[in-house]
Structure formats: structure tokens, C-alpha cells
Structure 1
Amino acid sequence: MTQVSNPMQKGLVQKGVSARHIVAIVISALIYGATIYISRYFPIKIGTIQAIYPAAVFAPLFGMWFGIWGSAGLVVGNILSMLVVGMNPAVYPLALLAQFMMGFVPGIMYRKINIESMKDRVYFIFVVLLGMLAGTVLVALNLVIFQKVPANVAWGTVWAWMQVSNSLTAAVFSPLLFAWMSDYMNKSGLFFKRFWG
């Protein structure tokens, strides 16, 4: 077995970590972007209002599993989904930052491999809601500042409904998916602890 003694060689070996970071970004971007794209065409609606936003379920999970790299993947995935349908991402800077925050806030606050107790579950839901709150505020600001939507519509209608379609959806389904998938993610070596260093 060859030992790496030269500091320069050590640096080259450590650069292998960046490949895992890219894997985290790609996985997050593909799944998140595909979920957004599909939900554009098959939205789960009550009348004309989207009742459930499936991508919101994945956003906190990728932040928890992959840290900052998963959160970056959310932004990349959203940009890709916009480009595919002919939208201009430059019009949505705060909305793209919102995607990042929906993953980053829970990712930095919940550092456990799984949900072990009711206390964990309550805290998990709290950090998911906090990330969704930060994200939905940024989306509403994007509507007002860049898309010129009247403030009363952005805050009174769109933002208020996002608390159901995004926040409530994530609070209900993200813990279930986390409990189901995290053991697999940990055993596969794809858990966030591998991506923070």
C-alpha cells in the first residue's frame, strides 16, 4: 500500500472529495428539477390552485443529506426546469435563492442520520417549516420586485397559499421520506456528513 507523504500529493488525493460534491449536486438537481418539471404539467390542484407542490418535499431532504451541495443542486435543478420550458432564470434571482434556503436551513439545523424520537420529529418539522418560511418569503419578494405582481396579491394570496402547498406539504411528507430513505443514504455513503468537509 502506497502512503501519501508529499503535501502536494495529499492535496490531489483530497480533491477526490470534490467529485462527491458534484455527485450530490447532480443527484439533487436531477430529482428536484424533474419533480418541478413534471408538476408543471401534472399539478395536484384543487380547482385552479396547486394544493401540493411535490418538489417542496425533496428540498429539505437534499439539504439534510448533502448539505450545501444538495442545496446548490436545488438551484441547478430549478434553473434546468426553467430552461426546458423556455423561462428566463434571470427574472427569478430571489426565487432561485429561495430554493437554496429551503434545503440549506434544514440541512444546517438538523444533523442527525434519522428520526429517533418524537422530540426529533417535532424539531425536524420545525426546521423544515423554517426553511420553507425563508424560501416562500423570498419567492413573494421576487414576485413583487422582479415580476411586478401587486404586493397585496403576492403576500395575501400567493405567499399565504404557499404555506399550504409548500410548507404544509413538506412538513407532512418530508419526515416520512426521510425516515424511509435515510438509512439507505447512510449505508450507501451518500449522507451529508461526507459532503460538509
Structure 2
Amino acid sequence: MVISALIFGATIYISRFVPIKLGTVQVLYPAAILAPLFGVWFGVWGSAGLVIGNILSMVVVGMNPAIFPLALLAQFIMGFVPGIAFRKVRFEGTRDRIVFIATVTLGMMVSTVLVALNLALIQKIPGNVVWGTIWPWMQVSNTLSAAIFSPILFAWMSDYMNKSGLFFKRFLG
């Protein structure tokens, strides 16, 4: 949990300095690429670390995490869905890659809906802005980028994670 919280939180914090935002949503969100990996590698604890890392990054920049409950749940879902659905230490064939990409995509789609609901219901951003501009953009900044780059990082890093003993063989640890 500590590893995912620190790396995820630092990635969010650093990417906050990208000046282009749609509402409170960052146009560039590299943390979305790491989130599924932490869920797969560290199980439920890696997914929980995503929430803690996001809270830490919010506090550091003066944001109140209490007004982002659905967005924080979304951070957990980004790791939870791929983490519970894909419990292998490496890709063993094309089917594994397809399943991994599908679970990453599903997790990102669900999480972006939660972020959009947080923006519309709690932050009172008009629905046409949320669903017509912000949510579609999150499909590029979160879903598409994670579907492309998460499998590459997984293939590259998973043997190291497994050999180092950091990979959780069971989702609940």
C-alpha cells in the first residue's frame, strides 16, 4: 500500500503542474497508467494505496479531499477491477494481453463515470459540460492512455515485481 500510495500520489502531484485542465480534471493524467498495475501487483492493498496517494496529493496542494468522495472511489476502482480480474505475474499469450486491456478499460470507464458524477453532483459543474466535454476527454487521458501504456509497463516490469517478492499472489494479500 505504501509503495502505490507514494508513487501514485507523487505522479498526481507532479502532473498537477500541467496548466491545461477541463474543470478540475487534468488533461494529462499519467497516474491512470500506473493505477491498474498497482491493483494487479499489490491486490486490494495496492488499490487502497491509490486512494491514499490521491488524498496526500490533494492535501499538499490545498484541496479538500472531502468534496471528492466519488473521485476517490474512482481511484480505488482503477486498480481494483484489473487487480481482481487479472491475477497473473506475466502475459502468457495474446489472450492474456486482451483480457488485461479489457479489464483496464473497464476499470477506467467505471472510474471516469464516478469522477463525472462527482463533478456533476457534488461540485455542481453543469451536466452538459461534464458529459459533453470532460467525460469524453477522460476517455483519452485516462482510458486510452492506460489501455496503451499499462500493458507495456506490465510486460516490462512484472518479472522484476515477481522476482523481488513484491507481487501479491492473492488479491487480498
Q: TM-score range by the shorter chain?
A: over 0.9
Q: How does 1:171-190 map to 2 (within 5 A)?
A: 171-190=147-166
Q: How does 1:1-197 map to 2 (within 5 A)?
A: 25-42=1-18, 52-193=28-169, 196-197=172-173
TM-aligned CA deviation for residue 50 of structure 1: 5.4
SS of aligned partner of 2:169: helix
Q: Superposition RMSD on alpha carbons, in Å?
A: 1.7
Q: In 2, distance between residues paired with 1:50 and 1:30? A: 19
Check the 8 A contact 2:87/2:170 in 1, yes or no: no
TM-aligned CA deviation for residue 196 of structure 1: 2.2
Q: In 2, distance between residues paired with 1:158 and 1:86? A: 22
Counterpart residue type for residue 26 of structure 1: V
Describe the superposition over 1:100-152 as per-residue Cα deviations: whole angstroms up to 9, x where unpaired.
00000000000111112111111110000000011000000000111000111
Structure with the bigger RCO (C-alpha within 8 Å, sep 6+) is 2
Q: In 2, distance between residues paired with 1:50 and 1:104? A: 22
SS of aligned partner of 1:115: coil
Counterpart residue type for residue 69 of structure 2: P
Q: In 2, distance between residues paired with 1:33 and 1:39? A: 10
Q: Structure 1: which 5+ residue stretches go unaligned?
A: 1-24
TM-score, scaled relative to structure 2: 0.93
Counterpart residue type for residue 55 of structure 1: A
CA distance 1:42–1:152, shift in 2 (3 Å): closer
Q: In 1, distance between residues paired with 2:153 and 2:37? A: 8
Q: Structure 2: which 5+ residue stretches go unaligned?
A: none
Counterpart residue type for residue 115 of structure 1: F
SS of aligned partner of 2:96: helix
TM-score, scaled relative to structure 1: 0.82
